[in-house]
Structure 1
Amino acid sequence: MTKRRAFILIEGHRSGPLYAQAAQRLGLYPITLSSDPSRHGYIAAEGLHAICIDTSNLDALIHECSQLHAIHGIAGITGGLDSVYLTVAKLCRHFGLPGPAPFPIEQCYDKFSQRQLLAQAGIPVPAHRIATSAADIESSAAEIGLPVILKPAAGSGSWGVRLCRNVDELAEHTNHLLEGGHLWRSPPRVLVEEFAQGPQYYSDIMGNEVIEICAIDFGPLPHFVVRQVICPALLTTDQHKKISDLSLDCLRAIGLGWGPANIEFRWTKRGPVVIEVNPRLSGVPDPQLIHLACGVDLITEHTKLAIGHEWNLRKTRSQTAAARMLVADRDGVLNWIHGVANATELPGIKEVKIFVTPNTVIVRKGDDRDFMGYVIAASPNPAQSEEILRRAVELIAWSITPDSIA
């Protein structure tokens, strides 16, 4: 029997099960390196191999991967989190494995540097300033003009991101970011940014090919918590071309082009404006939506690329997939969630996923940590998919009791 080579996943997150399954389908042995494997429930549930290690320590990871390589032979290394993707790039470079170039990843994850590179290339981005103090934030907001968005210069999942519509909200969120409300991995640097208004879209890219463009709806401001995603977005031919062309312009400006990327836009009065370039796949449920909509399995094709195999990006179907995020409506203790089985049985529902269990303490953060789960529907057209999704979501209910701990 041929020994299976190892496929290393640095941290698991919600896409972890999909990568593990893809690796197994390709005849590989998935191993997750995580600072806390117990956070990733699928590892124990599916009996997967995990190693507890400080994933912020590159030297420790190199040592561990060297030992694993001696035992199993490492076919590839990847990860789904922004916080580890630069480390993934460095590990791939160290072991001579296929992977993204580290420097463009580093440029991408400094949101200010990213915007500078895009602006220098003539790509439309929101007006922006970098600030390191309350006085800097106040003067930058005055220069740009309210409303503005304040966000950490490094981060993901809308952590610490808020729309500030007046001076009181600006002062409140400034205090939150600078006075201990936000966890910084480095000295605080805050991006003060124009609020580009209009419908939001994102493009999913593999290599230099735009696979699909999706539409995003958010929950109530001032936060940016995703409520619903439609794939593909309803765009005119001209809109689709402009977003696709601009996506590839972004890759060239930053020096990307290996593997996956995800680029967010707002369609404003002056056309598409780039909000963010992410040099990795979007998290779930985005890969499932792409697969349902056009037949391209981004997780599997990324895994193939990471082990040096030829990928297949050919589209094999054309339908509309939609996802609704289940978001907590209050803080407290989750008592129960009902209706999941009934929702799952509806024709057209492809997946219902719940992240939380009874007795979980719910503390809303105004970002992707507020997600309690999601529902995915697919059908031949957008209206039908949205109707299926609406019916399914109406069947799901939960009870959250206010609690002093929360």
Structure 2
Amino acid sequence: MKDRLLLLIESNTTGTGRRFAQRAVAAGIEPVLLSADPGRYPYAAEDGLRTVVVDTADPPALWPAVRELAADAEIAGVLSSSEYFVATAAEVAARLGLPGPSADAVRACRDKASQRRLLAGAGVPVPGFAEAGEVAEAVGAASRLGLPVVVKPVQGSGSVGVRLCASLGEVADHAGTLLAATANERGLTAPTRILVESYLTGREFSVEVVGHEAVAVVAKHVGPPPVFVETGHDLPAALPARQRDALTACAVAAVRALGLGWGAAHVELRLDGAAPRVIEVNPRPAGGMIPELVRHAHGIDLVTAQVRAAAGLPVSLERDRDAGASIRFLTADAAGTLGPAAAVEEALSRARAVPGVVDAALYRAPEAPVGPAEDFRGRLGHVITTGPSAAASARAAQEAAAVLARALRPSAEPSAVRSPARGDTASDRKETV
């Protein structure tokens, strides 16, 4: 009997990438990571994950590597947890006759301008927007939409390159920077187009969807403008039933409008008054450790569901608990360093001892330099907590994050450590420019 393999085409560099491989093993399937640089993912070596070095951005090079694996084993499924490779994984799965989303739908979804047009055309509420290929076009779009505006790449994840611009000069500067980039943070060719959109100030949420079923509504904490670094999440979101239902209905409508509906989708929304508007749809499971929060709060394992769906196995989305789960990411407002090894270990140990903490981690080595976060890459660590309610888990997360912050040695004032204040959501701060 041939071995059964789950091909993982690249991975997200932080968060749940490791868990995809672990869940495959739990399902009796051997995970194989196909990557141009497996060293990008430390967990691969730490877990003894089988890897194949191949240019994953080059389909003519990727396919022979897949066929070679298929010659000696049964390919049970193909996935990617990376925003940049979900379409590639869908294409390979389709070519092998395996389950997966429509590659065309995934590609259209990943292009934020195309996604906006599809959603607006289907009547799904979105912010005002315009696509631009030149600086002058971006400035003109901002003038029409009204300042402030958000300027972002048409492709990307983790808030990379997303910026709030309060003046036409800021629009021109940031548009020029984005349009001059020839490659993104993964070294892949960057499109020479950007998106300019109206800025919504309401509270931000995500809805985790599997197929066409809304599984969870998550309250999001976002750092201060002009950047949009996600600093934490609480689950379940504390909302009146009417607003929760509106968010889930809008998220599912967005997934349908984009021709998705296989596997997981992470839908980000903001409330515009009482009405939700879709910020973006990601055709993959959420990052930011949100799947872990869903697992702790509701007993639903989104990563396991995605792995089993890719392998053609039965998937359960049955909720077996109603608890709270939260995550807070540690960021710094000022340049500094992590402390020496002893201080780092003490901070981690004390954070883990806070009641309700189920995980605490720092992402940098002792004495590594740190600075203000511009996107997800500036996050320095996290704490995950559980409790009988989202309010209880949020309180524990705030306490543990403050303890974890003792690992930092800022060069400025010791208080210059960004850890969201209790209840600190976009609407609580009344974000202004």
Cα 1:328–1:64 shift into 2, 3 Å: farther
Say which of 199, 223, 226 aligns to 1:195.
Answer: 199
Q: Is the 8 A contact 2:101 2:263 kept in 1?
A: yes
Structure 2 counterparts to residues 19-58 of structure 1, below 5 A:
19-58=20-59
> Separation in 2 of the partners of 1:110 and 1:344?
40
Task: Identify if the C-alpha distance between structure 1 residues 59 and 7 changes in structure 2 by more than 3 Å, giving closer, same or farther.
Answer: same
Runs of 4+ in structure 1 over 6 Å off: none
Aligned equivalent of 2:312: 308
Partner of 1:4: 3
Residues 294, 318 of structure 1: 8 Å contact kept: yes
Native 8 Å contact 2:55 2:61 kept in 1: yes
Inter-partner Cα distance in structure 2 for 1:115 and 1:228: 26
Pick which of 186-195 and 98-107 moved more: 186-195
Q: Distance in 2 between matches of 1:17 and 1:317?
A: 25
Candidates 323, 342, 354, aligned match of 1:346: 354
Deviations 1:44-87 (A, max 9, x none): 11111112221111122211111111122211110111110010
Answering whether residue 278 of structure 2 is matched by residue 274 of structure 1, we say yes
How many angstroms does 1:331 deviate by?
A: 3.8
Structure 1 match to 2:289: 285
Counterpart of 2:389? 381
SS of structure 1 residue aligned to 2:266: strand
d(CA) in 2 for partners of 1:157 and 1:227? 11
2 CA distance for matches of 1:60 and 1:361? 38
Residues 338-360 of structure 1: CA distance to partner in whole angstroms, max 9, x if unpaired? Answer: 41122112221111122221354
TM-score by length of 1: 0.94
1:284–1:138 CA distance, 2 compared to 1 (3 A): closer
SS in 1 for 2:407: strand
1:160–1:182 CA contact under 8 A, matched in 2:
no
CA RMSD for the aligned pairs?
1.8
Name the CA shift for 1:349/1:3 in 2 (closer, same or farther; >3 Å): farther
> Aligned with 1:351: secondary structure?
strand
Equivalent residue for 2:258, pick from 254, 261, 279: 254
How far is 1:172 from its partner? 2.8
Distance 1:54 1:332 in 2: 37
1:29 partner letter: E
SS of corresponding position for 1:316: coil
Q: Which residue of 2 aligns with 1:125?
A: 126
List gaps (5 residues or longer) in structure 1: none
> Secondary structure of the equivalent of 2:293?
helix
Distance of 1:119 and 1:187 partners within structure 2: 22
TM-score (norm. length: structure 2):
0.89
> Which sections of structure 2, spanning at least 5 residues, go unmatched?
412-433
Give the counterpart letter for 1:37 in structure 2.
Answer: P
- Hey, what's the Cα distance between the residues in 2 that align with 1:329 and 1:66? 49
- Aligned partner of 1:20: which letter? A
- 1-side partners of 2:361 and 2:3: how far apart? 30
1:225 and 2:229 aligned: yes
Q: How does 1:327-346 map to 2 (within 5 A)?
A: 327-331=331-335, 333-336=337-340, 337=344, 338-346=346-354
Superposition deviation, residue 361 in structure 1: 4.5
* Partner-residue secondary structure (3-state), 1:83: coil
Contact 2:372/2:378 (CA < 8 Å) preserved in 1? yes
Moved more, 3-12 or 320-329: 3-12
Does the CA-based 8 Å contact 2:332-2:370 persist in structure 1? yes
Q: Which amino acid aligns with 2:348?
A: V
| Deviation of the 1:232 alpha carbon | 1.0
